[in-house]
């Protein structure tokens, strides 16, 4: 039986988000437009993934507090959780970390270093990945472990079954170029042009190494279910919300 994961799509209607995660996650992926107010009605999932977003975790948007509450309850139930970019920041916030605005964007293909932990198995210690964020996790609770970083700060953490990754290993070249061009209202054309020029096959091929993060997370969730003696610990027969996509 395939693992059943909840994709908590916080992208505010970005169609590339679900497409990219569908490609990278080999599982029964149930999608929820959480930025549109949709949340799973149950915790009958083997794992959940929180996506990126144009929002900040500290904004007073009506959908953010309920999302934090659901994720906090999932963590309490020891559900494996993976956060990407905004999701990384939201998970850090939920477990007691601090998220703050940065003085400048981190944008483009960048080098990140990891600690060799479970999520990064099979990835070179210094690896390439596409980044786009103007908020960052600036502090983690004492019990959490920083698992990845670069010169701009924290790029990964783990606490129990909770994993955060600041960058976007799920991006394809089309998404990276579109997202970079979308920053022209915040950054100079010269800087954006440099980033767009860097979105090429060589850079993307190098960044594809980081995509194993998703298989590592899926395998972690599968191994955890096997250790618990149950594959798919969930209410398999109960229909999910009609809002699920």
Decide if 105 contacts 132 (C-beta within 8 A). Answer: yes
Question: Which residue in the list 114, 133, 155, 168 is annotated as catalytic?
Answer: 168
Placement of tokens 């194993």 in the chain: 212
What's the pLDDT tens digit per position in 32-82?
999 999 999 999 999 999 999 999 999 999 999 999 999 999 999 999 999
Q: Give the DSSP per-residue string, 126-174.
A: EEEEEEEEEEEEEE--TTSEEEEEETTEEEEEEETTEEEE-S-TT--HH
Q: What is the DSSP letter of 46?
A: S
Give yes or no: 27 in active site: no
Q: How confident is the model at residue 195 (pLDDT cuts 50, 70, 90)?
A: very high
Task: Evaluate if residue 27 carries a pLDDT over 50.
Answer: yes
235 catalytic residue (yes or no): no
The pLDDT of residue 229: 82
Q: What is the pTM of this model?
A: 0.93
Mean pLDDT of all residues belonging to the chain? 94
Q: Is the pLDDT of residue 239 over 60?
A: no
Cα 75 to Cα 241: distance, rounded to the nearest angstrom: 21
Long-range contacts of 171-180 (CB under 8 A, 24+ apart): 171/20, 171/130, 171/207, 172/20, 172/23, 172/204, 173/199, 173/200, 173/201, 173/204, 174/16, 175/16, 175/20, 176/109, 176/130, 176/204, 178/16, 179/132, 180/107, 180/108, 180/132
Mean pLDDT of 202-227: 97
pLDDT of residue 236: 41
Query: Cβ distance 9 to 55 under 8 Å?
Result: no
232 pLDDT exceeds 50?
no
pLDDT band at 237 (very low <50, low <70, confident <90, very high): very low
- Cα distance from N-terminal residue to C-terminal residue, the chain: 20
Once rounded to an integer, what is the mean pLDDT over residues 178-188? 97
Give 243 or 32, the one with higher predicted confidence. Answer: 32
190: left (phi over 0), alpha (psi -120 to 50) or beta: alpha
Marked catalytic residue, from 85, 88, 106, 114: 85
CATH topology for the 4-227 domain: Rossmann fold (3.40.50)
How far apart CA 36 and CA 106 sit, in angstroms, is 27
Residue 166 has pLDDT above 50, yes or no: yes
In the predicted structure, residue 240 carries a pLDDT above the cut 60: no
**Structure-token pair, residue 47:** 């794992």
Residue of 24, 31, 38, 170 with catalytic role = 170
Residue 186 annotated among the catalytic residues of the structure: no
* pLDDT > 70? residue 230: no
On the question of pLDDT at 212 being above 90, the answer is: yes
Percentage above 70 pLDDT, the chain: 93
């Amino acid at each position: 039986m395939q693992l059943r994961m909840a994709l908590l799509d916080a992208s505010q209607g970005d169609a590339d988000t679900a497409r990219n995660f569908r490609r990278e996650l080999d599982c029964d992926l149930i999608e929820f437009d959480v930025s549109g107010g949709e949340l799973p009605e149950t915790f009958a999932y083997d794992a959940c993934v929180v996506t990126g977003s144009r929002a900040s975790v500290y904004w007073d948007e009506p959908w953010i507090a309920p999302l934090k509450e659901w994720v906090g309850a999932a963590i309490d139930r020891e559900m494996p959780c993976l956060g990407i970019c905004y999701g990384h920041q939201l998970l850090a916030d939920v477990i007691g970390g601090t998220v703050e605005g940065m003085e400048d964007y981190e944008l483009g293909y960048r080098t990140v270093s990891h600690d060799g932990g479970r999520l990064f198995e099979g990835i070179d210690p210094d690896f390439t990945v596409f980044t786009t964020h103007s908020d960052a996790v600036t502090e983690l609770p004492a019990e959490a472990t920083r698992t990845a970083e670069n010169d701009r700060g924290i790029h990964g953490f783990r606490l129990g079954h909770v994993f955060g990754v600041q960058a976007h290993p799920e991006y394809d070249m089309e998404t990276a170029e579109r997202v970079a061009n979308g920053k022209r209202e915040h950054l100079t054309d010269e800087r954006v042009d440099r980033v767009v020029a860097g979105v090429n096959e060589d850079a993307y091929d190098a960044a594809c190494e980081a995509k194993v993060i998703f298989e590592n997370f899926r395998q972690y969730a599968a191994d955890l279910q096997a250790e618990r003696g149950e594959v798919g610990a969930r209410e398999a027969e109960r229909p999910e919300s009609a809002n699920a996509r």
